[in-house]
Structure 1
Amino acid sequence: MTTPAEGTRTTGPAVAVVGECVADAFADPGASRRGELALRVIPGGGPANAAVALARLGTPARYLGRISADPFGRLFHERLTASGVDLSGVVRAAEPSTLAVATLDTEGRAEYSFHAEGTADWQWTAEELATRDLGGVAAVHTGSLALVMAPGAARIEEFLVGARAGATISIDPNVRPGLVDPAVYRARLPRWAALADIVKVSEEDLDHLGDFDGFREECHAAGARLVLLTRGADGVTASFDGVRLASPAPAVNVADTVGAGDAFTAGLLHRLGARGLLGGRLTGLTAGDLSDALAFAVRVAALTCEVAGANPPWHHQLGDLAPLTP
């Protein structure tokens, strides 16, 4: 197993990630006996995946989450620690962990059935979030279920209002229609776009949020400067202050696409941080800077697709795409 010391070279400003850890359970037919269904459990959850990817790339990553003391919680803790994530902002929670039973389609895309009622991830109190340390943090990333599950969702939004004073805000809605009505995401989008500097969606998200032109116009009108659409094998389309750019994805042998979007976001924030562009409203970001960051991010996502589960690459696996020095 690669250790953080072997796999990372910490550079750039810190990024804090707020949101859930989820136990992703995949059916394992090879281990199943007659009359049984064996499950292979892999630590997941979009925000936790992003924190892992950031740390492995070399960005100081601070995870702000509520981790259960149950066996799944211990698995989450081990994964985050082994990847070099700062867990000083974690709340040790009494509630159980969130479980998602996953199935993969023929293209390696996962669909999830969630067991999330009353689980640890959503039980934030105002006091817990108020005491999370953002000292030295240049960006805060959040999204997925953390922004739609009560009671924590509203408290995270309040937390972002305060975090904006010194940090770039990144949001990935990561729509989960099997658990939350997409109408909830659509209703909250204007608030999120007003809080965020960066909003990323996937093509699957837009199945529930509308076409990209309308989506990006709504986000820009609310205040978000950078709006991103990840398009799987077709790469990414970006809209920066209304100007569109695109970056193709490299060809890879896909094991599955689990965690690829989270790895993309981590790659983008890592590269922007390495150029000293985080910490505010993306002042100073040029088309050249953005093109470089997009190319880096799609490469990180592609490498994640080559292995099973949300297992993003380490710094040393990127070769000539090694991090910049700010």
Structure 2
Amino acid sequence: MIAVLGECVADGFTTRSPGAIGHPTPEPGPSGQGPSEPGSGGEELALQVLPGGGPANTAVALARLGTPARFLGRVSGDVFGEMFRRRLAASGVDLSACVEAAEPSTLSVAALDPGGRAAYTFYAGGTADWQWTPAELGPDRLGTANCLHTGSIALVKEPGRAAVEEFARKAAARATVSVDPNVRPSLAGRADYPVSRWCEWADILKLSDDDLEFLLPGVPLERACDTWHEAGARLIVVTRGAAGALVSLDGERAHVPAPEVNVVDTVGAGDSFTAGLLHGLDAEGLLGGRLDGLDLGTAVAAAELAVRVAALTCAVAGPNPPWATAL
């Protein structure tokens, strides 16, 4: 079993409503002071809200691929929290380690560029995902998992970041640990991502080329990998969109091409990649320690599976990773 620790986020995607600019304006109401339908006739946006959040997406993708997945999240009791639970459970994710949180869910609003890449605005003040306490992250929360994956906003946002990091550090004593920084510049600054410190206890570091440019601007990809290998991470994988991925194992490197796909959007693609990578390593019996026995060829094979899973996610709308049968 792979445990995934982190957030659920309600991802809102904007569409113009029928009352938006460009549609006929209703007749004035009886008072003569405005339209008879409140809110009509002006500039309006409708939100289509989908269940998301990087760690939750990864847990869903793992379970759909056939790897038992346990989600460790603080899930609200509001309408979005119920949506998260339904999606996770329907995908086969174990929710027994979740905390029932009193705080509201986190909301993000995504704007898609012509290439399907999303830019997010987060509404995260006082929300459930970041409120972890040490008491909520005892060793029993990990269960029988042989791997812990974490990262994203839960690992960088106060007040829970210290508790999450300490939990991951302790988990490394008996499980493989994977980290995806999943950088969110609108919520955290560069200093909030102490990647070299995380590499002291993380075996796998997965990040995107955008993450890399934010964290180490202007630093060549290979030099960045060497920096984090020296800090302790054995396997580093950098996703590069349509250019595929770079796999670096203890400094030995290979490039993995991405399959061609008709992109609807790229939402959740990186999270699906992580799931495919961990699923491939787990299938080889390599999780549960310090990646003993992993060679570059096996790491590349896992990354080749991961780019296929990510490509299939790009071919549909929203963070909707494929089931194993789609492969």
TM-score of the two chains, using structure 1 as the length reference: 0.91
- Amino acid in structure 2 at the alignment position of 1:83: S
- 2: CA distance, partners of 1:76 / 1:31: 28
Paired AA for residue 325 in structure 2: H
Structure 1 counterpart SS, 2:146: strand
- The answer (yes or no) to whether the contact 1:57–1:315 under 8 Å persists in 2 is yes
Contact map agreement 2:139 2:167 (CA 8 A) in 1 = no
CA RMSD of aligned residues (A): 1.1
Task: Give the one of 157, 162, 168 matched to 1:160.
Answer: 168
209-218 or 191-200, larger mean C-alpha shift:
209-218
SS in 1 for 2:142: coil
In the alignment, does 2:326 pair up with 1:301? Answer: no
State the match for 1:241 in structure 2. Answer: 250
1:108–1:249 distance in 2 versus 1, CA, 3 Å? same
In 1, are the aligned partners of 2:246 and 2:253 still within 8 Å (CA)? yes
Specify which of 262, 276, 288 is matched with residue 279 of structure 1.
Answer: 288
Quick one: which of 193, 208, 232 aligns to 2:214?
A: 208
Letter in 2 for 1:41: V
State the AA in 1 paired with 2:285: G
d(CA) in 2 for partners of 1:94 and 1:51? 22
CA–CA separation in structure 2 for the residues paired with 1:224 and 1:31: 52
The runs of at least 4 consecutive aligned structure 1 residues that moved more than 4 Å come to 30-33
CA distance in 2, matches of 1:272, 1:317: 19
Amino acid at match of 2:271: D
Whether contact under 8 Å (1:50, 1:263) holds in the other structure is yes
Tell me the alpha carbon deviations over residues 98-125 of structure 1, each in whole angstroms, 9 at most, x when there is no partner.
0101100111100001111110000011
What are structure 1's unaligned runs of at least 5 residues?
1-13, 319-326
SS at match of 1:118: coil
Distance in 1 between the 2:90 and 2:297 partners? 34
Residue 263 (structure 1) shift? 0.3
| Structure 2 equivalent of residue 44 of structure 1 | 52
Q: TM-score, normalised by structure 2?
A: 0.90
Query: How far has the Cα of 1:159 moved from its partner?
Result: 0.3
Q: Is the 8 A contact 1:234 1:249 kept in 2?
A: yes
CA distance in 1, matches of 2:313, 2:146: 25
2: CA distance, partners of 1:28 / 1:49:
23
User: Does structure 2 retain, via aligned residues, the 8 Å contact 1:100–1:115?
Assistant: yes
The CA deviation at 1:30 is: 5.2
1 CA distance for matches of 2:208 and 2:13? 22
Aligned to 2:8: 21
Task: Provide closer, same or farther for how the CA distance between residues 131 and 243 of structure 1 changes in structure 2, counting only shifts above 3 A.
Answer: closer
* Number of residue pairs aligned between Structure 1 and Structure 2: 303
CA distance in 1, matches of 2:162, 2:227: 21
- 1 CA distance for matches of 2:18 and 2:123? 23
Using a 3 Å threshold, how does the CA distance of structure 1 residues 97 and 244 change in structure 2: closer, same or farther?
same
The partner residue of 2:65 within 44, 57, 73 is: 57
Structure in which a larger fraction of residues adopt helix: 1
Secondary structure, counterpart of 1:271 in structure 2: helix
Query: CA-to-partner distance for each residue in 1:277-319, whole Å, 9 max, x for gaps?
Result: 000100001222112111101000000000010000001110x
CA contact (8 A) 2:252 2:296 kept: no
Structure 2 counterpart of 1:139: 147
Q: 1:267 aligns with which of 257, 268, 276?
A: 276
1:130-161, CA deviations, whole angstroms, 9 ceiling, x for partnerless residues? 15432321110001101110111110110011
User: In structure 1, what is the Cα distance between the partners aligned to 2:50 and 2:81?
Assistant: 12
CA distance in 2 between partners of 1:214 and 1:32 (Å) = 53
CA 1:270–1:79 in 2, change beyond 3 Å: closer, same or farther? same
Deviations 1:48-79 (A, max 9, x none): 00000000000000000000001110110111
Alpha-carbon distance, 1:215 to partner: 1.9
* Matched residue, 2:32: none
Structure 2: gaps spanning 5 or more residues: 21-40
Aligned partners of 2:256 and 2:300 also within 8 Å: yes
Please list, as runs of the form range in 1=range in 2, the aligned pairs for 1:89-238 lying within 5 A after superposition: 89-130=97-138, 132-185=140-193, 188-210=194-216, 211=219, 212-238=221-247
In 1, the alpha carbon distance for the partners of 2:208 and 2:72 equals: 24
Distance, in Å, in 2 between the alignment partners of 1:249 and 1:75 is 32
Is contact 1:32-1:38 (8 Å) kept?
Answer: no
Partners of 1:131 and 1:160 lie apart in 2 by 10
In structure 1, how many angstroms separate the alpha carbons of the residues matched to 2:153 and 2:245? 23
CA distance in 1: counterparts of 2:100 and 2:163, whole angstroms: 18
1:1-16 alignment runs, 5 A limit: 14-16=1-3
Computing the radius of gyration over CA atoms, which structure comes out larger, 1 or 2? 2
Distance in 2, matches of 1:116 and 1:31, equals 29
Identity of aligned residues (%): 60
Match of 1:4 in 2: none
